[in-house]
Structure 1
Amino acid sequence: MKKNSHGFTLVELLVVIAIIGVLIALLLPAVQQAREAARRIQCTNHQKQLGLALHNYHDTFLNLPHNAVPQDSSGSMQRGCSWLIRLLPFVEQSAAYDQIVFSGDFSMQDGPSPNSVVLGQLRVPGFNCPSSPLPELETQNTNANGAVELQLVNYVGITGSYWRGGTTNVVSTSPQDNTSYGTSVYSGMIVPVNTKSRSIGLKNATDGTSNVIMVSEQSDYFYDASGNKVNRRSCGHAGRSWYGGDGTTDSTYAWTANVTTIRYPIATTGGTGNGANYHANIPLISAHPGGVLVTLGDASVRFLPETVDFSILTGLADRQDGAVLGSF
């Protein structure tokens, strides 16, 4: 006698599909969290390597790498390199560094640059956060060397605090004080060399190296006053990651590149401090939920929440304020 075979009824099939859907909905956030946790660990390692590279540079030159020197306003437009260029031999990029000519216009926007070919080929994976949704490459039309594709990084040097660190919880509401560029200060660890400042060493961190930030993140989009998503990081101007800014001698106000002054809280949005990529006071922001990773002067890496007290944030940016910081 032939037995009747039984299949799933439509109701049973729908129940199974619903159960699978619920399981996927439960598992997907956990998978995403695990992936982000892995990316955050990798980003922490990138910043740790940057911290160690800065210490190795310091061991060699007895100073930290400076970010800019005053530009030559003659027809040659000598505009200097960023601190990231100076760090190349200490992040396993000696081959590229050995080809760099320390002359010409590193911004490549006005004067000729003898480095356009090597910088167009230079890619340093450790300079990018794996969680960042921002583009890692951008094509720039240069003045004298055609179009060149340059790397954009997610890590930024800290030049100091707009206020004396640790002294105020008052947050600036001015988009860029007095001029379109904002205000440059030199109380941090990665500073220009000019008539107002000089290369500094770890000995200049009188607050203690564990109480001052050298490097942090700009690895996510900002939102402007109209709610538009904007790519506003300090490496985004001409020359991208390899240009240091103008290193001005005659004004507090200067355009900068690959460094920022702490003037606004972490992840500030709404337009404040986000005027342009070459402004001096671009806030810190991270693709990691809830805060940013920072590399301290002792080369350790910490996670600072967006809710950190603003006086602590400014205190960490100022190497010599003498403030006693709370827990962070």
Structure 2
Amino acid sequence: MITIGLALTAVVAAQSPSPLDLARFADNAAKAALAKYSDRGVKPDQIGITLAVLDRKGNSFQSGSYRGAEAMYPASVVKMFFLAYAGHLLEKKKLRMTPELERAVHDMIVDSVNDATGLVLETVTGTTGGPELSPKELARWMDKRQAVNRWFASLGYPTLNACQKTWNEGPYGRERQGYGPHFELRNSLSPNVCVRLMSDIALDKIVSPGQCAWMRGYLSRAIPADSKETNEQSKLFSGKVLPSGTKLWSKAGWTDTVRHDVAYIQLPDGREFVYAIFTKDHSNEAGLIPFIASAMLKELGVKPVE
């Protein structure tokens, strides 16, 4: 009986969900969250979920989503895009790593420090903050700030906006000018585009394998089920519900209006998934993202940590 059970487990683990399954899993997780949090006023258009399964042998991924193409303000999730562009410049030898830049990259991803992010974005785009600029000077400055967007567009990524710093208080001077009169040029990402980037990092596709490994080193998180030394981007987000033995790489983001998590997980049975869970207007609902992640794990046949 034990041998048969193990064989059946291996067969189940080897089977990959189809895109239709993944879309259904994301939809079911959203419906479960909307039902559980109905008394908190969570609405369908305040959630976005994309779930992908990695095919390492085929060096590809398939995904399905619930409102996955809908863009939101990404908060600190955008830092993953700055990291990837830095990796590209390092690979092409257009950027020289220094101890100070390495410190800033570490703090930007590991601890999600906004001041560190400012240095990284200035370095990779050749721009600096400062006093207001004339219209002509501002146009040149903003063109430089589009470097990250242009690179992702050249790779065939869907429309995204990753050109602004992240803030503790807010932009001033030319940084404020760069947002447009009504903040219409704020950073903007969808769950779909975040899942693509994390999948490309996991599969060594976005840049060279060496640079992808460098990025994964910063994105790696211990999970509460296996360690007491956990980063808040794990213990306060979906890492909270991952079962023992699961490996996690992630980037979370939160402000007073949004709360997001983008994660790449390797389950104990060897299966690999990437998901992005975006929520808005309920950033004080700390349990919402872990609940959605837990619901998706159940759809995948995995028992989450309750």
Q: What TM-score, normalized to structure 2?
A: 0.27
Q: Which has the higher helix share?
A: 2
Q: Which has more radius of gyration?
A: 1
Q: What TM-score, normalized to structure 1?
A: 0.26
